[in-house]
Amino acid sequence: MEVLRAPIFDVHRTFSDGALAIDAGRIVYCGDYKPFPDAKTIDLRGGFLLPGFVDAHVHFPQLRIIGRLGRSLLDWLDRFALPEEARMADISYATEIARDFVHALVSNGTTTALIFGAHFVPATVALFEAAERTGLRAISGFVFSDRALPPELLQKPEDAYRASKLLIKKFPRYAITPRFAVSASEAMLEVCQTLAREHPGLWFQTHINEQPGEIQDVARRFGWAQDYFGVYERFLQNEARVVLAHNVHPREAELERMAARGVSIAHCPSSNASLGSGIFPMRRHLDAGVRFALGTDVGAGSGASVMREAFAAYLMQRVAADGVRMDAGEMLYRATLAGAEALGLETETGSLEAGKSADIVYLRAPEGSVLAGALKRVEDPTQALEALFTMASAESVREVRMAGEVVFSRKPDSRM
């Protein structure tokens, strides 16, 4: 058994002098500090222990194109995202990106992620393997499209089906991943439905209601559907755990049906702002009872930090006409347990409750940093958590543990 001693910020509870005891990869105690005579205790005071972060929407092949600003969705896809995704046909390039991508997530404190794979099977395999090597709990899938994209990114539905069967056998944390209704025909969505029926318990991820031009395109292509969600709804199986990214422009009837079906939304505020998609109607999601978590949405988003994404959500809601006032506890919940709930993994991860996997982030402000100075002046733990969400970046992620094992640690010498 190993004991970590430090202030702890868990979902809905704080221990200013806390202890986290880990045995065989599981949390066995999380509470006020007390001595554990038979265990090795590591004194981590000076930093903070939090649950590992959950990223509910992120694209691995887009790591290198973060920061292409000033375009709208369909234009950005054509000009930047899709040409880069086509490069994933080169397996040596894809393998390099997969490795760097997984490192980017883990070094930002993410321990679980739902990831858009590539339009190519070998590149998608490279991602799963990079995640396995690092210890990241990755759920991902081969991206389906059979129209409306450059031809090198398209597959025939029957080929998509066959390739998926092999991948599912090899990688059980598998997400059926049609890119979006614009680029997936009915035949392709039928393949998704068949896979979900044949493999109960898989995940299903795609995009929805991101920008008006995209929504109009979907309405044109699926004349029979009452709205965008109606397209996916027709092909969804009851068993699948469904995560839809964005949902910036939902109709009221869609929200009602999303709540009834128990789908989750991945809210991606920095991407929504950067592409000009709009402000997420968080209050309407809360009022309708639609579950939502956070997605960094690399590469339309600004990086792989779920903490930064939580802060972006806070900022966007502050300037929204009917915005929700997210406090630090709410940001922590959205960055952790809400993601685990969206992925159906809430009994395994997402908080520091005893019995769960010891997926832990240790934050410690770099010596001499503005954040370190601010933390010295806080009056209570809530202010410390606020300062962390406002200022902590990857440089403050000192150590990350996955099932108790250290999967990332940073030398304490960088000042910022």
If binding is defined by CB under 6 A, does position 398 make contact with ligand GUN? no
If binding is defined by CB under 5 A, does position 335 make contact with Zn ion? no
Per-residue string for binding with ligand GUN, 47-66, x by CB under 6 A?
Answer: ------------x-------
Structure tokens belonging to residue 198 = 């044949």
b/e for 293-306, b at 16 or more Cβ within 10 A?
bbbbbbbbbbbbbb
Burial of 260 (0-12, 13-18, 19+ CB in 10 A): exposed
If binding is defined by CB under 6 A, does position 84 make contact with ligand GUN? no
Per-residue string for binding with Zn ion, 283-322, x by CB under 5 A?
Answer: --------------x-------------------------
Which distant-in-sequence residues (6+ apart) come within 8 Å of 308 by Cβ?
270, 296, 302, 393
If binding is defined by CB under 6 A, does position 386 make contact with ligand GUN? no
CA dihedral 167, 168, 173, 177 (to 10 degrees): 80
Q: Please report where in the chains the tokens 């990223």 appear, as a residue.
A: 55
If binding is defined by CB under 6 A, does position 105 make contact with ligand GUN? no
Q: How far is the CB of 137 from ligand GUN (least distance, A)?
A: 22
Q: Which stretch binds ligand GUN (CB under 6 A): 27-35, 73-81, 220-228, 346-354?
A: 73-81
Q: Are strands 26-32 and 40-43 parallel, antiparallel or unpaired?
A: unpaired
If binding is defined by CB under 6 A, does position 300 make contact with ligand GUN? yes
Structure tokens belonging to residue 384 = 């410390």
Q: Which stretch binds Zn ion (CB under 5 A): 43-51, 213-221, 239-247, 251-259?
A: 239-247
Q: How far is the CB of 313 from ligand GUN (least distance, A)?
A: 16
Per-residue string for binding with ligand GUN, 246-285, x by CB under 6 A?
Answer: -------------------------x--------------
Q: Report the partner that residue 81 touches, choosing among Zn ion, ligand GUN, none (CB closer than 5 to 8 A by kind).
A: ligand GUN
Rule CB under 6 A: which of 203-222 touch ligand GUN? 207, 210
Rule CB under 6 A: which of 160-199 touch ligand GUN? 179-180
If binding is defined by CB under 6 A, does position 97 make contact with ligand GUN? no
If binding is defined by CB under 6 A, does position 297 make contact with ligand GUN? yes
Per-residue string for binding with Zn ion, 243-262, x by CB under 5 A?
Answer: --x-----------------
If binding is defined by CB under 6 A, does position 111 make contact with ligand GUN? no
Number of shown-chain residues binding ligand GUN (CB under 6 A): 11
Q: How far is the CB of 386 from ligand GUN (least distance, A)?
A: 28
User: Closer to Zn ion at the Cβ: 274 or 349?
Assistant: 274
Contact with ligand GUN (CB under 6 A): which of 19, 56, 81, 290?
Answer: 81
User: Closer to ligand GUN at the Cβ: 84 or 399?
Assistant: 84
Handedness of CA 223, 228, 229, 235 (dihedral sign): positive
Q: Report the partner that residue 73 touches, choosing among Zn ion, ligand GUN, none (CB closer than 5 to 8 A by kind).
A: ligand GUN
Rule CB under 5 A: which of 104-123 touch Zn ion? none
Query: Which amino acid makes up residue 330?
Result: E
Interface residues with ligand GUN (CB under 6 A) are 59, 73, 77, 81, 179-180, 207, 210, 271, 297, 300
Interface residues with Zn ion (CB under 5 A) are 245, 297
